[in-house]
Chains A and B, each alone.
Chain A
Amino acid sequence: MADEVVLLDLYGSMFAMRVRIAFAEKDIKYDNREQDSVNKSQLLLEMNPVHKKIPVLLHNGKPVCESLIIVEYIDEVWNHNSPLLPSDPYHKAHARFWADFVDKKVNDPARRIWLKKGEELEIAKKEFIEALKLLERELGDKTYFGGDKFGFVDVALIPFYSWFETYETCGNFSIEEHCPTLITWGKKCMERESVHKSLADPKKICEIVFTVLRKKYGLE
């Protein structure tokens, strides 16, 4: 029986992009179902009753939620090619730590950059740059966070690259000025088909943020 693989997706979500990249790296065919984040579908609410959020992977009808957990699941199930996590337990733990760091220390300030104004915006920018600088230090002179191979931490962070233009516009700053090595890394990742196929267009994200989201939160 053929595998049924469905992704409950959202074009502009960096979390959903992680899953799209993982599927593309492994060359897995799947049914992509774009969701409405405002009028949530019955399927989404049923499959992720705890958080009611995308992405959700449905593998033969069984749901897997939370983007990094989904990426690990994909890596374990479709283990025939392109491993995303290292096989050595310590290197694996190290990769998990930095992917978790992106969720803990990059995501929240990044969100506040396009959501806030004034003093709160400045604080968000500062925290965001501090977190990126720590990641830059971790990257060092490696090509990818995974070393020579594109891996778990790269998958975790690269979707935020598609939002950089939005952050820079909202915050009136240049990320490259603070983190040039990270921008070089981003451009290198974008050369991979799995990445440039899966990332949302930065201009479209800017448009969504400025015409829909910021209005929704009373900022425009």
Chain B
Amino acid sequence: MAEVQVYGVWCSAFVRRVEMGLKMKRVEYEYIEEDLKNKSDLLLKYNPIYKKVPVMLHNRNVLVESLIILEYIDEVWEGPPILPKDPYERARARFLAKFIDDKLPSMWKACWSAGEEREKLIVETREALKILENELKGKKFFGGDSIGLVDITANFIAGWFLGLHESVGLQIMTQENFPNLMKWAEEYSGNSFIKENMPDKEKLVAHYKILKTGAQS
């Protein structure tokens, strides 16, 4: 059995975060694809409370929740740091990562909803994006010169949120209203390391369209 195993689904931004963290540290791992409609006994055993992916196994240690796993990866393995060394900067990174996770559900819903609810979610999403936009002033990445915890956590924005924008023709986040974020997303997605940890955009959009219409895949 491999020293490190990751249970996930190909389309989950949370799972991809963990894979990014492991790859940053050049840690070999075995990946196991789960079927969320038919969760394996092992997944339910390892994550009985939330029954979700990602789950990471390291020797006998079972870890869940992507941000908690990323901190563990940073503490266990040498290599490029995921979190800053300075306690204040670490607190700031944790704050922004949590903020992104708190806003993620409504950002995603904003892409798929309609009418009055949609308008409300778009306003909420843009308010959240404004905070991230300001955070990027004068910086290449949220982590400064290199990718860090917040950049990894924001994979959802660069890959899933913007991916949907392109395919479905959304205007929630544009060059005009969020130039810093758009520049960050281009830099981020252009990075070969990041590219190999994002699912194919077309496949992703097709998958969510099917889920939305409730059709059988």
Contact = CB atoms under 8 A, between A and B. Distances in A.
Interface of A: 50, 59, 62, 64-66, 69-70, 72-73, 76-77, 89-90, 92-93, 96-97, 100-101, 134
Given A73-B87, A93-B72, 18 more contacts: A59-B88, A62-B88, A64-B88, A64-B91, A64-B95, A65-B95, A66-B95, A66-B98, A69-B91, A69-B94, A69-B95, A76-B87, A93-B68, A93-B69, A96-B71, A97-B64, A100-B65, A101-B49
Contact of A72 (B61, B65, B76, B91): B91
B75 interface: yes
* Chain A binding surface, main DSSP class: helix
Contact of A50 (B49, B75, B88, B99): B99
B120 interface: no
Greatest chain A CB density within 10 A among B65, B76, B87, B131 is at B87
12 contacts: A50-B131, A62-B88, A66-B98, A69-B98, A72-B90, A73-B91, A76-B90, A77-B87, A89-B72, A92-B71, A93-B69, A97-B68
B63 interface: yes
A90 B72 contact: yes
A66 B64 CA distance: 21
Contacts of A62: 88
Nearest to A105: B49
B48 to A, nearest CB: 9
Contacts of B87: 73, 76-77
Interface of B: 49, 58, 61, 63-65, 68-69, 71-72, 75-76, 87-88, 90-91, 94-95, 98-99, 131
A85 to B, nearest CB: 11
A157 to B, nearest CB: 15
3 tightest Cβ-Cβ pairs between the two chains A and B = A89-B75, A76-B87, A73-B91
Contacts, number: 52
Contacts of A77: 87
A62 B98 CA distance: 19
Greatest chain B CB density within 10 A among A64, A65, A76, A93 is at A93
A123 B35 CA distance: 30
Contacts of A76: 87, 90
A72 B87 CA distance: 9
Contacts of B63: 90, 93
B94 A72 contact: yes
Given A93-B63, A97-B64, A134-B49, A70 B91 contact: yes
Contacts of A70: 91
B120 to A, nearest CB: 19
Nearest to A103: B98
Contacts of A50: 99, 131
Nearest to A60: B88
A63 B203 CA distance: 42
Contacts of A96: 65, 68, 71
B203 to A, nearest CB: 31
Nearest to B88: A62
A64 B69 CA distance: 22
Contacts of B75: 89, 92
Nearest to A73: B91
A64 B76 CA distance: 26
Contacts of A93: 61, 63, 68-69, 71-72
A97 B65 contact: yes
A210 to B, nearest CB: 30
